[in-house]
Amino acid sequence: MLSIHPLPYPLDAQAAFTRIRDLGDPVLLDSAQPESDPRFGRYDIIAAAPDVLVRYTRGRTEVRRKGLWNSVESDPINLLKSLNSEIALGENSGLPFCGGLIGHFSYDLGRAFEALPSPAEDDLALPEMRVGRYLWAVVIDHQQSTSQLVAHPQADGLQVEAVHRLLLAEADDHLSKTTPFHLVSDFESNLPRPKYMDAFNRVQDYILAGDCYQINLTQRFSARCEGDPFHAYRALRKRATTPFSAYMESGSDAILSLSPERFLKVSDDGEVETRPIKGTRPRGGNETEDQAFIDELKQSEKDRSENLMIVDLLRNDLGKVCEAGSISVPELFAIETYPNVHHLVSAVTGKLAEGYTSLDLLKHCFPGGSITGAPKIRAMQIIDELEPHRRGVYCGSIGYFSAAGGMDTSICIRTLLVENGRVYCSAGGGIVADSVGDEEYQESFDKVNNLLETLQELS
């Protein structure tokens, strides 16, 4: 039986994270409440000290138990399914997470599922997957106004009691003991304008030749940096209140995600949802200009066409593991507004077929179609040819897989990586036959300018 340890509400998720951070491999899944959309931003989940950690790097799967790493001969997703089945709970707890898996899956994990060429440089050489099995977590429910420490029956009882005491202790400013984050160089792109336009023209050639209908072309910005990445996350989170935000770290490396996009959600009883974003406009300088951008996005045949292409792609992906006849599109071309942009969003739903798990769904849909193009495999081949570096964490996914069967994952857009003294941030957009190069180039800046400017202000 789960053990539930009450905590005060409201509980500052960021402060709670800093208290358990030193326990190792900490994760914060942050709904950005009360500022973000309450339809999606209900829960914050905070965890640390996984009993098992799995990483997959260039075809090699490794498992850490009790501090020791060992290589294993296993498909990475099958291994995760096995680890979660060991702690499976038959009851529906009513909680989003009651022990289970939390981690990140890089865009390049797609190579484990599909034979793809590798012309893009793997300059960071980071794991394509890093997932921990967490037997306890803090769950903050902003609809029910509750905070609780939830422990799986297999969790270490003494550790859970110690964590509970730590969370109830008198407040301490843990961040004041770390070095503030700051940049020590300007941001540079790996695809400056002339090279971007060359790549854009190549995409148009492929579309004209019938190779593809849409390609998501991105560029990567990077700068040298110093200091605690969590300082940067806190500053970014103030500027970008998005319901699928996340922060996780391993050693000196950290992922800072301010994602507005749900990839895949599965309820404990197998109801599936994905919410692709395709179509973007900047925010206006005043209410009139802002509404004009919304109206323009609503009426854009180009953006609606792009969105519909990805909806069809995802209907096909979900159909691989969902019950026949269960796929539907309850929302088409909805507008979602964020601090820096408006997005055109649709929803595709289904019912997981018997014999399939949430991890099977992830494998059959990965990576998300909204950040590849269509058809997916050919689009990924073209992306690898035209983008100079592998995407890594960007355009991958972050999320949880509960021992009770549910899952929720994001698409890693508006996502930064801090690694080896550098910070990386990528952005792009979908290119179709009637796209205009200058507009697509500008859109990539519209999506991340507020993030880059925030980091520059910290310096």
Name the active-site residue from 128, 249, 261, 440.
261
Taking only Cα atoms into account, the Rg of the chain, rounded to an integer number of angstroms, comes to 21
Q: How far apart are CA 346 and CA 318, in angstroms?
A: 14
What's the pLDDT at 348? 98
| Residue 459: predicted pLDDT | 80
Domain of residue 206: give its range. 3-172+184-458
Mean pLDDT, residues 386-407 taken together: 97
Share of the chain above pLDDT 90, in %: 90
Q: How confident is the model at residue 63 (pLDDT cuts 50, 70, 90)?
A: very high
Q: What is the pLDDT of residue 26?
A: 98
On the question of pLDDT at 36 being above 80, the answer is no
What does the pLDDT average to over 203-221?
Answer: 97
Hey, which bits of 284-396 come out as E strands? 328-337, 341-351, 373-374
Residue-level pLDDT at 176:
66
Asked whether residue 179 is domain-assigned, the answer is no
- The per-residue pLDDT for 9 is 97
Residue 459: DSSP 8-state: -
Alpha-carbon distance 246 to 254, whole Å?
10
More confident position, 116 or 136: 136
Confidence tier at 387 by pLDDT (50, 70, 90): very high
* Residue reference for tokens 């059959």: 364
Is the confidence at residue 27, as pLDDT, over 90? yes
292-296 contacts, C-beta under 8 A, 24 or more apart: 293/342, 294/335, 294/337, 294/342
- Find the mean pLDDT for residues 378-387: 96
Angle between helices 193-208 and 376-386 (to 10 degrees): 150
For 268-323, how does the pLDDT look when each residue is reduced to its tens digit (9 = 90+)? 999 999 999 999 999 999 999 999 999 999 999 999 999 999 999 999 999 999 99
pLDDT at 223: 98
Across 175-187, average pLDDT = 89
Whole-number Å distance between alpha carbons of 312 and 136: 38
Q: Which two tokens stand for residue 170?
A: 């008198």
Residues 355 and 366: beta-carbon distance below 8 Å: no
Between helix 358-365 and helix 76-85 the angle, nearest 10°, is: 160
Catalytic (active site) residue 261: yes
Q: What is the CATH number of the domain that holds 410?
A: 3.60.120.10
Averaged over 250-265, what is the pLDDT? 95
Helix axes 437-458, 193-208, angle to 10 degrees: 140
Structural domains counted in the chain:
1
| DSSP structure class, residue 175 | G
Cα distances (Å, whole numbers) of residue 423 to 178, 183, 223, 411: 18, 8, 6, 19
Distance CA 312, CA 276 (A): 11
Catalytic residue among 278, 351, 363, 376: 278
Is 195 marked active-site? no
Is there a domain that residue 202 lies in?
yes
- The per-residue pLDDT for 249 is 96
37: confidence class by pLDDT, cuts 50, 70, 90? confident
Which tokens sit at 150? 């939830």
Give the lowest-confidence range in 19-23, 132-136, 250-254: 250-254
* Residue 341 binned pLDDT confidence (cut-offs 50, 70, 90): very high
pTM recorded for the entire structure: 0.96
Task: Tell me the two tokens of residue 93.
Answer: 């707890």
* 439 to 196, 242, 257, 300, 329: CA distances (angstroms): 12, 24, 25, 14, 29
- pLDDT above 70 covers a percentage of the chain that reads 99
Domain membership of residue 178 (yes or no) is: no
Please list the alpha-helical segments (H only) found in 182-300: 193-208, 229-239, 287-299
**Rounded to whole angstroms, how far apart are CA atoms 278 and 310?**
8
Q: For residue 389, what is the DSSP state?
A: B
Give the mean model confidence (pLDDT) for residues 191-218: 97
In a domain, 418, yes or no: yes
Residue 167 pLDDT greater than 80, yes or no? yes
- The amino acid at residue 310 is I
d(CA 215, CA 430): 5
pLDDT tens sequence across 223-255:
999 999 999 999 999 998 999 999 999 988 999
Mean pLDDT score of the chain:
95
Out of 145-149, 417-421, 443-447, least confident range:
443-447
pLDDT number for residue 177: 76
Residue 30 pairs with which residues in a beta bridge? Answer: 245
pLDDT of 100 reads: 98
C-alpha 68 chain-centroid distance: 28
Bridge partners, residue 45, by sequence:
29, 139
Query: Is 177 a domain residue?
Result: no
Tens digits of per-residue pLDDT, 75-128?
A: 999 999 999 999 999 776 789 999 999 999 999 999 898 888 778 899 999 999
The dihedral sign for the CA sequence 53, 56, 263, 284: positive
